[in-house]
Amino acid sequence: MAIDRRGFLKASAAQAAIVGFGATASAKRHPGAAPVTRGVNPFAHGVASGDPQSDRVILWTRVSPIADRLGEPVETHWWIARDSLGLEVVAGGTVDALPGSDYTVKVDASGLEPNTDYHYGFLTETGLSPIGRTRTLPAGDAEHVRMAFASCANYPNGFFNAYACLAERDDVDVVLHLGDYLYEYGNGEYGDGTSLDRIPDPVHEMVTLEDYRRRHASYKSDPDLRAAHARHPWITIWDDHETANNSHPSGAENHDPSLEGDWETRKLAGIRAYYEWMPIRELPTGLFRSFRFGGLVDLIMLDTRLHGRDPEAPPKDTAAASDPKRTLLGEDQKDWLFGELADSHDVGTAWRVIGQQIMVAPVSFDGVDFNPDSWNGYRASRARVLDHLEAEGIDNVVFLTGDVHSSWVFEVPAPSDAEEDYDPVTSAGSRAVEFVAPAVSSPPLGVAEGWQARPQQILARTPHLKYANFEDQGFVILDVTRDRVRAEYVYTDSAKVRSRRSRCAATFETRSGTNRVERVEPDRCEV
């Protein structure tokens, strides 16, 4: 075994905070994923790291409890080292895995060096975890950052080929997940895993805390997902399906209180399981948070879903969609966002990247309607953000988006109701750019009947749209230097067949100070 026990003792005094869940070890019957018998790998759900800063990172694992010791804490050692053998340990300690947090373990390992690779692992009486690799954020004069971003991984609908590809890449500093990390449905309701041997657990729709925990465990039974977590630090936000379809603070399209009980209880169960099972730092303010990559990038992650969002506007109701009283972010998150943008601008950070769930740019899929579950359904909120950028002279803003199972590249004109101010030739009137990632494995938009010709139709009537692909699955890599940001669209083989092949299909570039995006040759993907 490649662990120096003295390393633990030496490091046990090192700076490390155990992340609590406000839960205690009380449950007699364990309400989460199945326990194991002695001799079975106690780290079946792998390891993960996340929310890196320049001096710290969250380390995560889940310890499968032993069947005859259910309800008891499991003493778990952890360490983080400069090398994969765990010889140069820089911090470590011991933490109890508790039934109150579904035996998940989170540690905020601090005292680390910026822009540095680390390796970490966990050890219990019954076994050693896989060894994860992670990386801290740069500080000071960062010159180059590469962040992958992805969304929408439906387990029964297909294999996680995008995660398999990400797990093999050495050229990514961090993976962003923009939501729909898992889906709430029962098998066959949205994706049928029967023929692929990917039936999710539980087989029915997740509603209770036990359901949500078991579904997280089911997703992390996927080896490609585990490999991608073990290879890179992730920064994640939820979208709707981590609770239920088209959710908002007071309800969801896919929640029927008369059959499924109180929404607040269900929402809190989904949120609790997410915090337990994801390598995320828990902040008193909620999910929205920011990350500074030296002077190069300020990454701002928003919660457009469960924090302050008003219920959706009715279909076709443009008056409701434009109602200035309706909000997508909530007042406090909007104020926080404005403060983050102003601070980033004032300190001279080169780029402001906003990772969030739903499409920002004005667009109609059919030329008539709008998607009320996007910023197009919250136009006053969008105008407030884009007007703030204009009023404060803040440019170099890049929105990253998931949710729609398709790839789009936009310049973002504003306000949306005065698109005549936008000139597609010069890009005058554009206030930001937006890159929308395809799905990992959820059904692409283009599989729907009659949707094959849609991208060309939408491109023809949407001058600020520069690219649309409704066919492919994969992920995007954002390559950032001071002078420009490039988005490399990387497509995988269809999720219906397990594969680790990928191709760089299209690359787009926005140059500093332009709010303009142009296609560059695919061979400029920096693979």
Instruction: List contacts with Fe ion (CB under 5 A).
Output: 152, 180, 442
472 vs 218: CA distance, rounded Å? 25
Which of 487, 497, 489, 399 has the alpha carbon at shortest distance from 441? 497
Query: Is 403 an interacting residue with respect to Ca ion (CB under 5 A)?
Result: yes
Least separation in angstroms between CB 356 and Ca ion:
12
Nearest CB to Fe ion, comparing residues 407 and 442: 442
Least separation in angstroms between CB 279 and Fe ion:
21
Which of 130, 92, 128 has the alpha carbon at shortest distance from 112? 92
Q: Which does 333 bind (CB under 5 to 8 A by kind): Ca ion, Fe ion, none?
A: none
407 vs 340: CA distance, rounded Å? 28
Nearest CB to Fe ion, comparing residues 396 and 492: 492
Nearest CB to Ca ion, comparing residues 315 and 522: 315
Least separation in angstroms between CB 361 and Ca ion:
17
Q: Which does 509 bind (CB under 5 to 8 A by kind): Ca ion, Fe ion, none?
A: none
Per DSSP, the three-state class of 307 is coil
Q: Which does 395 bind (CB under 5 to 8 A by kind): Fe ion, Ca ion, none?
A: none
18 vs 22: CA distance, rounded Å? 12
Query: Could you tell me how many residues of this chain bind Ca ion (CB under 5 A)?
Result: 4
Q: What is the 3-state secondary structure (H, E, C) of 256-295?
A: CHHHHCCHHHHHHHHHHHHHHHCCCCCCCCCCCEEEEECC
Nearest CB to Ca ion, comparing residues 338 and 451: 451
Least separation in angstroms between CB 442 and Fe ion:
5
Least separation in angstroms between CB 406 and Ca ion:
12
Nearest CB to Fe ion, comparing residues 235 and 440: 440
Using the 8-state DSSP alphabet, how is residue 376 labeled? Answer: G
Least separation in angstroms between CB 237 and Fe ion:
13
Binding-site string for Ca ion from residue 229 to residue 248, where x marks contact by CB under 5 A and - marks none? ----------xx--------
Q: Which does 240 bind (CB under 5 to 8 A by kind): Fe ion, Ca ion, none?
A: Ca ion
| 452 neighbors 440 (Cβ within 8 angstroms) | no
Give the contacts of 178 (CB within 8 A, at least 6 positions apart).
149, 150, 151, 237, 239, 355, 356, 357, 400, 401, 402, 403, 437
Least separation in angstroms between CB 337 and Fe ion:
23
Contacting Ca ion within 173-192 (CB under 5 A):
180
Nearest CB to Ca ion, comparing residues 211 and 239: 239
Binding-site string for Ca ion from residue 354 to residue 393, where x marks contact by CB under 5 A and - marks none? ----------------------------------------
Give me Rg for the CA atoms of the chain.
Answer: 22
Q: Is 388 left (phi over 0), alpha (psi -120 to 50) or beta?
A: alpha
Contacting Ca ion within 80-99 (CB under 5 A):
none
Least separation in angstroms between CB 360 and Fe ion:
17
Element (DSSP H or E) covering residue 225:
helix 223-231
Nearest CB to Fe ion, comparing residues 142 and 436: 436
Site stretch for Ca ion (CB under 5 A), options 182-190, 210-218, 282-290, 397-405: 397-405
Per DSSP, the three-state class of 135 is strand
Pairing type for strands 145-150 and 174-177 reads parallel
E-state strands within 39-167: 47-50, 56-62, 74-81, 89-97, 104-110, 117-124, 127-128, 132-135, 145-150
Nearest CB to Ca ion, comparing residues 142 and 358: 358
Query: Is 472 an interacting residue with respect to Ca ion (CB under 5 A)?
Result: no
Least separation in angstroms between CB 248 and Fe ion:
16
Nearest CB to Ca ion, comparing residues 239 and 493: 239
204 vs 202: CA distance, rounded Å? 5
Nearest CB to Ca ion, comparing residues 266 and 352: 266
Binding-site string for Ca ion from residue 256 to residue 285, where x marks contact by CB under 5 A and - marks none? ------------------------------
421 vs 87: CA distance, rounded Å? 61
Chain residues that interact with Ca ion, rule: CB under 5 A: 180, 239-240, 403
